[in-house]
Structure 1
Amino acid sequence: MSYARVLCVGLVGVTGHLVEVEADLAPGLPAVVISGLPDTALHEARDRVRAAVVNSGQRWPNRRITLNLLPATLPKFGSAFDLAIAVALLGGSGELPLAPLDGVVILGELGLDGTVRPVRGVLPMAAAAARAGVERVIVPAANSAEAAVVPGLRVRGVDTLHRLIAFVRDGAPLIEPPTHVPTPATSGPDLAEVAGQGLGRRALEVAAAGGHHLALIGPPGAGKTMLAERLPSILPELDDDAALEVTALHSIAGLLPAEGGLLRRPPFQAPHHTATIPAIVGGGAGLARPGAISLAHRGVLFLDEAPEFSRAALEALRQPLEHGRVHLARSRGGAEYPAQAQLVIAANPCPCANPAGDDRCECPPQARRRYLARLSGPLLDRIDLQVRLLPMRAAELMEAGTHESSTAVAARVVAARAAAADRWSALGRRLNAEVPGTRLRRPPWQLPAADTAELRARLDSGSLSARGFDRVIRLAWTIADLDGRARPDRHDVGEAIHLRTGEAI
């Protein structure tokens, strides 16, 4: 027999595609040719596979070997094809009967000594195999806990090529995944540790309940970073679908904890202000990798000292914030990643950042305007809540630990989200921040004219954009949900305007 075929999975972005690895061995000068749009790592697979096969005690066929990865028009990236290539090659040479591997997906990178090493992206690969109707997968032993979270899939692990060969020839057992995969435990800071800042705490609760973006502007030491870091602690745990999405993204980035399991806590990403555009929105050579906004999917992206970020990196966030996805175009094909993250930015009001606030600011008016102008109007217009925090007072500082805990606030957030999800279920939405503005401006969800008079006046005067109008309405619905009312009233709209503009109504 000179032909063999086994199954593998290739990733493009976060989407997996079933790939057939074909091997054909023909008479002629010994050579190995790989076709099917392989990248550099795949071209180098021939040397890794040859050394692994020989060091596993198998004979290397001195023939012309053609390896083809189908579909040939789909770009292939990475080293996860190594194990499938080795098995297909041994099957084509007649060294290995492949009947036990019929309909089995094989994933893994090979070391030169024949060890099977873990690879990135096993979870979305295993999920793609399950969607394609595959029932069994063989993965590196170090990835078996990760793959085992996919329902309806029988997962087995291997640590060496020799073990896989023994399984195919003699039925030797493979490595079982852990019988109990714990959800990675996370313990974060508590909201009770934040002193004072009642307005900031209220804004944080509203942001969590409605899925709104948040800007915190204030002097150093006012608690901006403390508040932002505690937002994940009042967000609900991720449901099964969201947890799979988040865990798959972290699998691709190679950031999953060693114990495996689904990530249930909303992720928190806080890149440094020197981060580049690819680091923020994704990119890189070859296969574009997810950036911070995708790693914060279903969680929080926090930009501390936001005016210090490059303007280009900040402006690159505008499209993902609007559409909830990042599309990274490349000459060999694009990659798309989900990016439904809550953006939280923190900024000082001026370059001198005097802790006493505006009363003792040493900056000329032009310097203050230039500093905050680094946050462009179109970007700020997409941020629902824009809150100005006051300097901390001694009496407030001594009250630390006496405020509500994250657990108490999270209970209200869960109730508010449940009310919103029930109301918008017919629209296929779950959060107030996701509801199109056109729906909120039409019956039956349109608010009475008397309740929105101030809001409409601001729109007519140009002090509020049409996008800002819709975002204030969404905030009003969230405030009503938190307070247990079926519909917002005039006071809810007034508070929403205050949280949006900082002006009392």
Structure 2
Amino acid sequence: MLVKTYGSAVYGIDATTITIEVNISGGTKYYIVGLPDNAVKESLRRIESALTASGFRMPRQKIVVNLAPADIRKEGSAYDLAIAVGILASSKQISEQSLNDFLILGELSLDGSIQPIKGALPIAVQAARDGFKGMILPQANAREAAVVSDIQVYGVKHLGEVTSFLNGTVRLDRTQVSVETELKEAGPDEVLDFADVHGQENIKRAMEIAAAGGHNVLLIGPPGAGKTMLAKRLPTILPPLTLEESLETTKIHSVAGKLGVTASLITSRPFRAPHHTISDVALVGGGSYPQPGEISLAHNGVLFLDELPEFKRSVLEVMRQPLESRHIMIARARFSVQYPASFILVAAMNPCPCGFYNHPQQECQCNPGKVQKYLSKISGPLLDRIDLHVEVTPVTSDELTAVRATERSADIRRRVAAARNMQAQRFSKHTGIHCNAQMNTRGLREICTTDETGRALLKAAMARLGLSARAYDRILKVSRTIADLDGSATIRTEHLAEAIQFRSLDRSNWAG
């Protein structure tokens, strides 16, 4: 008897519905066809044990399981539950009447319990598009899938619950999540606050500009100057995630299996800080079956690279294209996947191997050639893609011990949110552009216009600092953000001057 159940396959951050056809006929062998990987092929052994433990029998006949469409590779153990239900329905141990209404997913343990899967949110989105009435999936993934309100989500813990529900003898409680409530209740991290940072007003200003316009930042200074402390507090001044951003970020973490058991939505901006020993595949994503890397996990948030010159050169260079395009395309022989990668890069580094070059009190032990060799680990093309270059100087003892009120993250965040609102209105008709850092060349020429005095200032800066055309564009974008923070409709000369100041660490000026 032929029976059809439905599962799903995830590619990138999108899902494709898979039809699972189970046919039982005369014979003795089991077959799974339709381009399954080893985890799918092994499912029949798990299913046989789970059926026995749940009081059912595994038919001793020829069982053919086809996963359609057959030209798409099927990976992982999420098809276990759908195959098991198909076998039970085909052997008439359970009713098949409602199978067409549900998408069924879950990994089976030998005792019949159901283990969590990856990618529940993109699967739920696709299931709603395909018109399914509901989803049956592991209890651990129910809140994540229930973010999609257009489909009924039922979380289960054991195969027996699924069979009883499909037979109509047990009623399952539908899992429901209020997206609006989740976002409303979410708040910034109250543990970290810019009020904890004494002094460093110029650096705080740079971080505010970065947050307001989505710009990348390079912090260069001696050990203990506060680079890491400042970087960790950048997410506290970023505006809250919108619903669209939250869903997209949650999709990526869902596919990567990074969501917690009780999680439904990611409501705070990600902060990723990989160690400098990371590989290029781990950073940008990839593998035999491509998974999102750190740059995608930092999407809509912050990627912090501490000790930048200690990263392998190949690791840093693979970031050049994603920093421009804000997505990463991972191509393999049979298919390719695309992951979003729109993040704020915050990089921190010492000015030399010993860390004390240009230090006001400590003497540097490195000769000029050694300093230049250390700085040369960061390529010019990568530096061009970093909007703000900021020199972090040590905080004096007077600033550390001073008892005075410092500005809190909440106060800075209000200014950042006001600037972002201006940008949202400005780019309302531009698809895929949400902040100044994402402006394309055409938008740059239309929006970032300057007067004659401003053009003369830019021309002089280009000649003196030896800036590239890309650096020129980034100065205009940063100056537009500074103008937004100032509430100005036009870019004035002082806005340009401040933006140029943040390019003073370009390579021509490093190490003397």
Aligned length: 500
Q: How far apart, CA to CA, are the structure 2 residues paired with 1:7 and 1:233?
A: 42
Contact 1:220 1:355 survives alignment (8 Å): no
**CA shift in 2, pair 1:350/1:358, >3 Å:** farther
The one-letter code sitting in structure 2 at the alignment partner of 1:8 is G
Partner Cα distance (2:60, 2:116) in 1 = 29
The separation in 1 between residues aligned to 2:128 and 2:419, in whole angstroms, is: 35
Superposition deviation, residue 333 in structure 1: 2.3
Unaligned runs of at least 5 residues, structure 2: none
What does the per-residue CA deviation read over 1:428-486, in whole Å, with 9 as the maximum and x for residues that have no partner?
322011111232224x6422232121212344567111111110000011000101111
Aligned position for 1:112: 110
Bigger Cα displacement from structure 2, 76-85 vs 200-209: 76-85
8 Å contact from structure 1 (residues 42, 78) kept in 2: yes
Kindly provide the amino acid, as one letter, of the partner of residue 35 in structure 1: V
Residues 1:229 and 1:355: Cα distance change in structure 2 (over 3 Å): farther
1:355–1:391 contact (8 Å) kept in structure 2: no
From 255, 260, 274, the equivalent of 2:258 is: 255
Give the TM-score of the pair, scaled to structure 1.
0.95
Residue 354 of structure 2: which of 352, 355, 368 is its match? 352
Tell me which of 252, 255, 269 is aligned to 2:272.
269
Alignment root-mean-square deviation, CA: 2.0
CA contact (8 A) 2:304 2:346 kept: yes
1:387 equivalent in structure 2: 390
Partner of 1:243: 246
Q: For 1:197-222, what per-residue CA distance to the aligned partner results, in whole angstroms no more than 9, with x for missing partners?
A: 11110000000000000100011111
Q: Distance in 1 between matches of 2:403 and 2:426?
A: 37
Q: Tell me the residue number matched to 2:321.
A: 319
Aligned equivalent of 1:441, options 439, 442, 445? 445
Corresponding residue of 2:79: 81
The answer as to 2:128 corresponding to 1:141 is no
Percent identity reads 43
> What is the deviation of 1:277?
1.1
Quick one: structure 1 residues 440 and 152, their matched pair in 2 at CA, closer, same or farther if it must change by over 3 Å?
same
Residues 352, 371 of structure 2: 8 Å contact kept: yes
Alpha-carbon distance, 1:400 to partner: 7.3
CA distance 1:195–1:394, change in 2 (3 Å): same
Moved more, 90-99 or 43-52: 90-99
**Letter of the structure 2 residue corresponding to residue 373 of structure 1:** S
Separation (CA, whole Å) in 2 of partners of 1:99 and 1:357: 76
Cα deviation 1:166-207 (Å, max 9, x = unaligned): 112233122443667856775441011111111110000000
The CA deviation string for residues 331-374 of structure 1, in whole angstroms up to 9 with x for no partner, is 34222211111111000000001397166211111111111111
In the TM superposition, 1:147-158 aligns within 5 A as: 147-158=145-156
Alpha-carbon shift at residue 139 of structure 1 (Å): 0.9
How is 1:348-497 mapped onto 2 (pairs within 5 angstroms)?
A: 348-354=350-356, 357=359, 360-399=363-402, 402-428=405-431, 429-442=433-446, 445-459=448-462, 463-497=466-500
Of 432-441 and 199-208, more deviation after overlay is shown by 432-441
Structure 2 letter corresponding to 1:16: A
1:475 partner letter: V
Is residue 351–residue 357 contact of structure 2 (8 Å, CA) maintained in 1? Answer: no
Provide the rounded CA distance (Å) in 2 between the counterparts of 1:168 and 1:116.
16
SS at match of 2:454: coil
Amino acid at match of 1:20: T
Check 1:463–1:356 CA distance in 2 against 1; reply closer, same or farther (3 A cut).
closer
Query: TM (normalized to structure 2)?
Result: 0.93
- Which residue number in structure 1 is paired with residue 17 of structure 2? 18
Tell me, yes or no, if the aligned pair for 2:271 and 2:302 is still in contact at 8 Å: yes
Q: How does 1:17-166 map to 2 (within 5 A)?
A: 17-28=16-27, 30-166=28-164
Quote the Cα distance in structure 2 between the aligned partners of 1:307 and 1:493.
29
Residues 88-144 of structure 1: per-residue CA shift (max 9 Å, x gap):
111122222211222211111000111111112111211221222223111111111
Structure 1: segments with no counterpart, 5+ residues: none
Q: Which moved more, 1:259-268 or 1:338-347?
A: 259-268
